């Protein structure tokens, strides 16, 4: 299958040292007009970042910008500092601050004074000094800051005192994340005491649902239409940003792509020979297997995933410079971070992953060869529609979105059930920190806003009490509850003993149980292994950990893992038909691990935000039409357990389908 390249229009107006794209000029002008909400859905690689950096610097604005992954935060920090150094008189380090958990923790560890994340974040916030300030962070930290989770007076007001919030890569936000962000901006926009009045959404795909929702809320919106054209039809004022692609489509199953590649490894060696190449698969185990197969005297190979994510930027730069032949990775490099490659092999088992990964090929003029693995039904659909003509990117992406099965079209039912509860918790927690008179006034304002935003009719004290009780049932601090931006599966805190420098990190409980050479420890024993400068990390992150241990590499074959439980709540179905915090879990592993009893003791005392359902994971995936990225885990008695926000989503699917 052959795909056309992509081009976008260039203007005669100068934007720093080059001619600006039309969408950049439009974004710049809308920010100057103080437009409340701007959505720019221009394609990946079309300079959306500069569209806001220039007006922020020249208008001396204070902006907070969120990126979905920390690697992108770091990458964009360096890119924006380079723009400032090349074109402005400001000192880059005084204008740009990076606020990820690791950066904050390292700064605290090196500080001679007692600090917390909240204190440091507040210190880095702008102080209205008639100078620009840019804070680059992730949505999790913004979420905690606005919800006052840092327990530091002044952090949330500092955010509300900014001029601009930017949400980059917004197309990657799920339904819960989109709903909460839209409520944030609606509430802040309607707060007379808030200075923050402009919100910019950057996305690589058309945001028709978000556009419709913002207009329903009555917010002042400018939607900048996608102005890209097929490369074959580009005019003299258009510039190519994505090359034509020769797409070789193969079939596989999720987390099994590595086996297909290994079966024909000589063909893949020939495919990437003398080309800067990238292989993108789905699981960390796939990355490890392919790395071991390709890494020899003939190829200079690196991997980026899981326990091998260190020095990510340096590895990508070496690939771009031609000092590496091949990088093998998973989702760690699929979003936003800019680097150059000549060939790519990747799996695309959801529409968003396929489109996102295909967008990694850019800034080239010649036809680029790509191999893509998809489910068999997707390949058949593409073959059926194929007409031996060159497809535009727009046509290809539309067919892909229409073809892939998706069970997570739950926007409406999520908006009717859980979104109002999260919004209520946000309003309630804000009010708790106010004086009595202010609290009553602000609660009334918040309830009125929730009613209008979600179409509710909460008007009595009993209604408020009922809403509070429902909201508290799904509140689960550090355990994947609704107040977190992204609530995932249980994690272990581990010491990675495979590297020269031992590192402390949180990692998937189930991956480590299946693949890890593990020694499990209780918290007191674990802390004894930590150097003094890592004890702070332990104290900060222990609330997120469901166990502790030392990772000493991988076993050759995966273990079988099953969750178990004790007590009435694990056996009475009526008690577990909604997501909630549940304790008294256990775990069964075969073959067993010597120190598993220590982990069981820790897990048994933990609470997990989860939903337990009848049927095995495989049965539930088929019954509810779930894709392989919707993780359900085996639970005793031919049942399944799903954790974190997926528990909320699964209940929405069950309600939607009436099953």
- Do 603 and 548 form a contact (C-beta atoms < 8 A)? no
pLDDT above 60 (res 576): no
Q: What's the DSSP call for residue 533? A: G
Residue 462: pLDDT band with limits 50, 70, 90: very high
Give the SS3 label for residue 302.
strand
Q: Can you give the pTM of this predicted structure? A: 0.91
Residue 524: pLDDT band with limits 50, 70, 90: very high
Residue 256: pLDDT band with limits 50, 70, 90: very high
Label residues 4-34 b or e (16+ Cβ within 10 Å = b). Answer: bbbbbebeeeebeeeebbbbbebbbebbeee
pLDDT of residue 649: 93
pLDDT above 90 (res 110): no
How is residue 374 written in tokens?
A: 């998809």
Residue 117: pLDDT band with limits 50, 70, 90: confident
Q: What is the mean pLDDT of residues 560-585?
A: 80
How is residue 456 written in tokens?
A: 């509710």
Q: What is the mean pLDDT of residues 356-363?
A: 79
Residue 573: pLDDT band with limits 50, 70, 90: low
- 484-488's contacts with Cβ under 8 Å and 24+ in sequence apart are 484/140, 484/143, 484/644, 484/645, 485/139, 485/140, 485/142, 485/143, 485/144, 485/177, 485/180, 486/139, 486/140, 486/177, 486/644, 486/645, 487/609, 487/643, 487/644, 487/645, 488/643, 488/644, 488/645
pLDDT of residue 90: 93
Within 8 A by CB and 6+ apart from 605, the residues are: 583
Q: What is the mean pLDDT of residues 609-633?
A: 89
Percent of the chain past pLDDT 70, that is, above it, reads 96
H-helix or E-strand containing 447?
A: helix 436-454
pLDDT above 80 (res 290): yes
Return the number of other C-beta atoms located less than 10 Å from residue 63's C-beta: 25
Asked if the peptide bond before residue 160 counts as cis, ω within 30 degrees of 0, the response is no
Please report, to the nearest 10 degrees, the dihedral formed by the alpha carbons of residues 489, 492, 497, 501 taken in order.
80
Q: What is the pLDDT of residues 378-388, one digit of tens each?
A: 999 999 888 88
pLDDT above 50 (res 369): yes
Label residues 312-344 b or e (16+ Cβ within 10 Å = b). Answer: beebbebbeeeebbbbbbbbbbbbbbbbbbbbb
How is residue 238 written in tokens?
A: 């258009």
pLDDT of residue 574: 47
pLDDT above 60 (res 474): yes
Within 8 A by CB and 6+ apart from 657, the residues are: 624
pLDDT of residue 363: 62
Residue 575: pLDDT band with limits 50, 70, 90: very low
Q: What's the DSSP call for residue 195? A: -
Do the bridges between strand 633-635 and strand 639-643 make them parallel or antiparallel, or are there none, so unpaired? antiparallel
**Using CA of residue 479, residue 481, residue 486, residue 488, what is the dihedral sign?**
positive
**Using CA of residue 597, residue 598, residue 603, residue 606, what is the dihedral sign?**
positive
pLDDT above 80 (res 477): no
Within 8 A by CB and 6+ apart from 557, the residues are: none
pLDDT of residue 406: 64
Percent of the chain past pLDDT 90, that is, above it, reads 58
Of 102-111, 265-274, 309-318, 491-500, give the range with the top mean pLDDT. Answer: 265-274
Do the bridges between strand 560-565 and strand 198-202 make them parallel or antiparallel, or are there none, so unpaired? unpaired
Domains of the chain, earliest start first: 2-229 (3.40.50.300), 243-403 (3.40.50.300), 419-473 (no CATH), 491-657 (no CATH)
Do the bridges between strand 545-554 and strand 343-347 make them parallel or antiparallel, or are there none, so unpaired? unpaired
Residue 584: pLDDT band with limits 50, 70, 90: very high
Do the bridges between strand 301-304 and strand 503-508 make them parallel or antiparallel, or are there none, so unpaired? unpaired
Give the span between the Cα atoms of 340 and 342, in whole angstroms. 7
Enumerate the β-bridge partners of residue 377. Answer: none
Cα 359 vs. chain centroid, distance in angstroms? Answer: 17
Query: What mean pLDDT value characterizes the chain?
Result: 89
Which DSSP string do the residues of 76-96 spell out, in sequence order?
HHHHHHHHHHHH-SS-HHHHE
Dihedral pair phi/psi, residue 234, rounded to 5°? -70, 145
Give the span between the Cα atoms of 63 and 134, in whole angstroms. 5
Q: What is the pLDDT of residues 50-105, one digit of tens each?
A: 999 999 999 999 999 999 888 789 889 998 999 999 999 999 999 999 999 889 88
User: Which of these ranges, 41-55, 543-557, 567-581, has the smallest mean pLDDT?
Assistant: 567-581
Q: In what order do the strands lie in the sheet with 368-374?
A: 2-3, 245-251, 368-374, 343-347, 277-280, 326-329, 301-304
How is residue 47 written in tokens?
A: 């300079």
Q: What is the mean pLDDT of residues 165-182?
A: 92
Q: What is the chain's length? A: 659
pLDDT of residue 332: 62
Q: What is the mean pLDDT of residues 145-159?
A: 83
Q: What's the DSSP call for residue 509? A: H
**Using CA of residue 449, residue 454, residue 456, residue 460, what is the dihedral sign?**
negative
pLDDT of residue 91: 94
Q: What is the mean pLDDT of residues 184-206?
A: 92
User: Which of these ranges, 196-210, 221-235, 341-355, 497-511, has the smallest mean pLDDT?
Assistant: 497-511
Residue 338: pLDDT band with limits 50, 70, 90: low
Q: What's the DSSP call for residue 537? A: H
- Do 278 and 326 form a contact (C-beta atoms < 8 A)? yes
- 395, 414, 422, 461 from 468: Cα distances, Å: 47, 18, 10, 11
pLDDT of residue 659: 62
Please report, to the nearest 10 degrees, the dihedral formed by the alpha carbons of residues 419, 420, 426, 429 taken in order.
-140
Helix H, strand E, coil C: the string for 116-152 is CHHHHHHHHCCCCCCCCEEEEECHHHHHHHHCCCCCC
Return the number of other C-beta atoms located less than 10 Å from residue 608's C-beta: 22
- Do 137 and 65 form a contact (C-beta atoms < 8 A)? yes
Give the span between the Cα atoms of 282 and 288, in whole angstroms. 11
Q: What is the pLDDT of residues 401-441, one digit of tens each?
A: 888 866 567 888 999 999 999 999 999 999 988 888 899 99
How is residue 258 written in tokens?
A: 């590595």
H-helix or E-strand containing 551?
A: strand 545-554
The better pLDDT of the pair 201, 536 is held by 201
Give the span between the Cα atoms of 76 and 44, in whole angstroms. 14
pLDDT above 50 (res 493): yes
- Residue linked to tokens 């497809």: 391
Burial label, 286 (beta-carbon count in 10 A; 0-12, 13-18, 19+): buried
- Residue linked to tokens 């920390």: 70
Which one, of 206, 188, 208, 207, lies nearest residue 198 by Cα?
A: 188
Q: What is the mean pLDDT of residues 193-214?
A: 90
């Amino acid at each position: 299958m052959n795909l056309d390249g992509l081009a976008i229009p260039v203007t005669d107006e100068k934007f720093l040292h080059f001619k600006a794209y039309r969408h950049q000029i439009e974004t710049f002008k809308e920010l100057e007009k103080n437009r409340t909400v701007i959505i720019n859905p221009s394609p990946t690689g079309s300079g959306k970042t500069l569209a806001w950096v220039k007006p922020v610097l020249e208008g001396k604005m204070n902006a907070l910008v969120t990126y979905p992954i920390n690697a992108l935060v770091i990458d964009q920090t360096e890119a924006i500092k380079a723009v400032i150094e090349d074109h402005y008189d400001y000192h880059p380090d005084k204008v740009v601050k990076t606020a990820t958990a690791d950066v904050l923790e390292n700064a605290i560890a090196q500080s001679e004074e007692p600090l917390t994340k909240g204190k440091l974040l507040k210190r880095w916030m702008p102080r209205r000094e008639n100078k620009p300030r840019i804070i680059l962070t992730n949505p999790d930290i913004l979420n905690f800051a606005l919800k006052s989770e840092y327990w530091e007076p002044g952090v949330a007001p500092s955010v509300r005192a900014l001029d601009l919030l930017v949400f980059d890569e917004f197309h990657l936000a799920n339904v819960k994340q989109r709903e909460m962000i839209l409520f944030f901006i609606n509430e802040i926009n309607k707060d007379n005491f808030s200075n923050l009045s402009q919100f910019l959404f950057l996305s690589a795909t058309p945001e028709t649902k978000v556009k419709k929702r913002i207009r329903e809320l009555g917010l002042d919106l400018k939607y900048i239409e996608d102005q890209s054209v097929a490369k074959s039809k580009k005019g003299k004022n258009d510039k190519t940003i994505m090359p034509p692609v020769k797409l070789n489509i193969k079939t596989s199953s999720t987390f099994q792509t590595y086996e297909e590649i290994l079966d024909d490894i000589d063909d893949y060696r020939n495919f990437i020979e003398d080309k800067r190449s990238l292989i993108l698969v789905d699981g960390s185990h796939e990355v490890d297997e392919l790395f071991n197969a390709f890494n020899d005297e003939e190829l200079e190979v690196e991997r980026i995933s899981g326990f091998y994510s260190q020095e990510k930027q340096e590895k990508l730069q070496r690939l771009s410079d031609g000092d590496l032949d091949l990088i093998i990775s998973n989702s760690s490099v699929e979003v936003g971070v800019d680097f150059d490659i000549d060939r790519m092999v990747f799996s695309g088992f959801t529409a968003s992953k396929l489109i996102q990964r295909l967008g990694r090929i850019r800034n080239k003029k010649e036809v680029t060869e790509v191999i893509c693995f998809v489910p068999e039904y997707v390949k058949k659909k593409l073959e059926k529609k194929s007409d031996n003509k060159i497809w535009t990117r727009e046509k290809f992406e539309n067919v892909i979105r229409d073809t892939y099965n998706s069970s997570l079209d739950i926007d409406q039912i999520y908006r009717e059930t859980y979104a109002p509860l999260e919004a209520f918790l946000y309003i309630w927690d804000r009010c708790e920190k106010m004086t009595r008179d202010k609290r009553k006034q602000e609660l009334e304002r918040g309830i009125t806003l929730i009613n209008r935003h979600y179409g509710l009719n909460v008007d009595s004290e009993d209604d408020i009490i009922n809403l509070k009780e429902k909201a508290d049932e799904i509140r689960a601090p550090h355990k994947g509850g609704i107040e977190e931006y992204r609530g995932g599966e249980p994690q272990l805190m581990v010491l990675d003993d495979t590297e020269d420098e031992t590192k402390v990190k949180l990692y998937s409980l189930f991956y480590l149980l299946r693949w890890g050479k593990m020694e499990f420890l209780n918290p007191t024993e674990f802390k004894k292994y930590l150097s003094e400068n890592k004890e702070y990390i332990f104290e900060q992150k222990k609330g997120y950990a469901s166990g502790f241990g030392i990772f000493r590499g991988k076993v050759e074959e995966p273990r079988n893992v099953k969750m178990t439980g004790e007590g009435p709540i694990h056996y009475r179905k009526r008690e577990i038909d909604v997501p909630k915090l549940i304790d008294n879990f256990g775990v069964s592993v075969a073959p067993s691990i010597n120190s598993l009893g220590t982990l069981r003791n820790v897990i048994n005392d933990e609470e997990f935000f989860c939903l337990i359902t009848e049927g095995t994971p495989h049965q539930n995936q088929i019954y509810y039409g779930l894709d392989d990225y919707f993780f359900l885990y085996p639970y005793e008695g031919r049942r399944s357990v799903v954790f974190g926000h997926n528990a909320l989503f699964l209940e929405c699917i069950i309600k939607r389908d009436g099953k």
